[in-house]
Structure 1
Amino acid sequence: MANRFVLNETSYHEAGAIAEIATEVIGRGFKKAFVCSDPDLIKFGVTKKVTDVLDNTGLAYEIYSNIKPNPTIENVQSGIAAFKAAEADYIIAIGGGSSMDTAKGVGIVIANPDFADIRSLEGVTPTRNKSVPIFAVPTTAGIPADLKDIVKPEDIPFLAQSAYDDACRPGNPKETSVEDITKLYESLI
């Protein structure tokens, strides 16, 4: 069985953990997922690993991928509109901080419409209602455990540059170059 932490909602960890999502969703009686995943994770097949679990168990979902690094107010607001249009009742966030942050913004505002401007959520804000339930599937620093199965050598320069350009990179404990990141990716495939 996979380990899990219950924080604001649920985060799954370890190999095979995504298979537990279907069990949890069915057990809670949810009807339709709003899957937040960034375009690169869709492109490289990471999101498909989660949607395959949903497909194999007949669970409905809609994918939202209008996610940018350091999501903007507009990203979250368009996500809110997409969530409503999808008639979803829970969220699956796949990826790193940007997908997670977008999902959290959508989930909080759907449950607390008074914060639709998004900006009023900055800092510590007392909301009245809990967020829409969110299942988080982190990709651990953007590097899927099975990178070799989904990334081709010709994809590495793009991935390395994207990782280097990420706004969160300067906060890493060790300074890295594009070459360092390229070597890391190459060692994983």
Structure 2
Amino acid sequence: MVNRFILNETSYHGSGAINSIADEAKIRGFKKAFVCSGPDLIKFGVTKNVLDVLDKNGLTYEVFSDIKPNPTIQNVQNGVEAFKLSGADYIIAIGGGSPMDTAKAIGIIIKNPEFADVRSLEGVADTKNKAVPIIAIPTTAGTAAETTINYVITDSEKNRKMVCVDPHDIPIIAIIDPDMMSSMPKGLTAATGMDALTHAIEGYITAGAWELSDMFHLKAIEIISRSLRSAVDNTQEGRAGMALGQYVAGMGFSNVGLGIVHSMAHPLGALYDTPHGIANAIILPTVMEYNAEATGDKYKYIAQAMGVKGTENMTVEEYRKAAIDAVKKLSEDIKIPKDLKEIVKKEDIPFLAQSAYDDACRPGNPKETSVADITKLYESLI
């Protein structure tokens, strides 16, 4: 069996890393940036931190902010037209997963115009050309979109999220600057942090996992588990830890896939606009219980990475429970809701279950599943 691993060409880490944007743009001969960022990031001055770097270095740019929290096909198509009119030759994506996902889709379509309908990008699209060069700067510590080959676009007409997987979309440069994440409110820090933990745990137990991806995922679980509580309290150490932990998780799962936590979370975002991290955090312990029998001894190492002591003396049942309990305790400590009662309508469950089963993340689940199984999992959470 041959395993493939794809990472950014270059990444910068640490406080002040955004200043490296100018050097990279000049070295690579870029002329004008198409800056993708969300309206709130512009409103609250987060985007300005990057624009100030560009202004200081005499680098021209145009800003595109027609991006929803769960970006739609129309957002992407509007962005493609704006890019064509801008005269830009590279993209700077600033934000959480939404601006970066939008930037990836724009970049792919500009270089592969036969996919302009956007829907044809779902799954593993047969694109021929690399996307427009992207410099990605996360403002949340969760999605790791700056280092993945995945992006998610919402099909509003069908109330579903399209998971797109394409090695041609990975940003050439990732700028991981914890200062860009310091303005995140507690709730968003908690939600995106649990998204990162879900990436690490699902990536570790997914069907495609192997030694190299395991290395990244276990380290990510360790870093996130020790950093998330203090990041929610907005400490510098916690922010820095989460900035690194979520990136390390992304390096792993981007290459091996995820599972049904994500496939169940995606329809919640599409139908109810539920924040992705919140959906993942609520679903994760329940799916861990469901998957436990198909994970060998991996829950022992998850528990150890999360700081559980004495796992070497535990039975299989004990260390599996310990890993799940550690996830539940972390969620509780950072005020994540315990169930989907305030989100899911019972009459929607058949649609949600079928959507989750059809989702691109579902085949990576370590345990074979069915629409009926997923239906029961949703029902257990309301």
Shared fold, TM over 0.5: yes
Which residue is 1:51 aligned to? Answer: 51
Q: Deviations over 1:22-41 (max 9, x none)?
A: 00000000100000000111
Q: Which amino acid aligns with 1:27?
A: I
Count of paired positions: 167
Deviations 1:56-77 (A, max 9, x none): 0000000000000121100000
Tell me the equivalent position of 1:85.
85
Structure 2 gap ranges (5+): 1-5, 143-177, 193-272, 285-326, 337-382
Q: 1:18 to 1:69 in 2, by over 3 A?
A: same
Give the TM-score normalised by the residue count of structure 1.
0.77
SS, match of residue 129 in structure 1? coil
Per-residue deviation at 1:140? 2.6
Q: Which moved more, 1:60-69 or 1:11-20?
A: 11-20
- Does structure 1 residue 170 correspond to structure 2 residue 279? yes
- Cα separation, partners in 2 of 1:39 and 1:86, compared to 1, 3 Å: same
AA of the residue aligned to 1:122? E
Q: Hey, what's the Cα distance between the residues in 2 that align with 1:167 and 1:60?
A: 34
Q: TM-score, normalised by structure 2?
A: 0.40
Opposite residue 279 of structure 2, the aligned amino acid is: P
| Residues in 2 aligned to 1:37 and 1:10: alpha-carbon distance in whole angstroms | 21
Aligned sequence identity (%)? 60
Counterparts of residues 62-101 of structure 1 (less than 5 Å): 62-101=62-101
Instruction: Give the aligned residue type for 1:115.
Output: F
Larger Rg: 2
Deviation string, structure 1 residues 101-127 (Cα, Å, up to 9, x no partner)? 000000000010010000000001121
Work out the CA distance in 2 between the residues paired with 1:89 and 1:28. 11
For the residues of structure 1 that align with 2:132 and 2:86, how far apart are their CA atoms?
14
Higher relative contact order (CA 8 A, sep 6+): 1
What is the aligned partner in structure 1 of residue 17 from structure 2?
17
The letter of the residue matching 2:91 is: I
Q: Is the 8 A contact 1:9 1:134 kept in 2?
A: no
Query: 5+ unaligned residues in a row in structure 1: which ranges?
Result: 1-5, 182-189
Bigger helix share? 2
* Residues 31-180 of structure 1 aligned to structure 2 (within 5 Å): 31-141=31-141, 144-147=180-183, 165-172=274-281, 180=335
Give, as a single letter, the amino acid of the residue that structure 1 aligns with 2:81: A
Q: In the TM superposition, what whole-angstrom CA distance separates every residue of 1:116-160 from its partner, at most 9, and x where no partner exists?
A: 00000000112110000000001133894432xxx8xxxx69979
Structure 1 residue matching 2:92: 3-state secondary structure: strand
Q: Alpha-carbon deviation of 1:168?
A: 4.0
Specify whether residues 12 and 57 from structure 1 end up closer, same or farther in structure 2 by C-alpha distance, changes over 3 A only: same
CA distance in 2, matches of 1:62, 1:37: 11
Q: Secondary structure at the match of 2:17?
A: coil
- Residues of 1 paired with 2:186 and 2:138: CA distance? 22
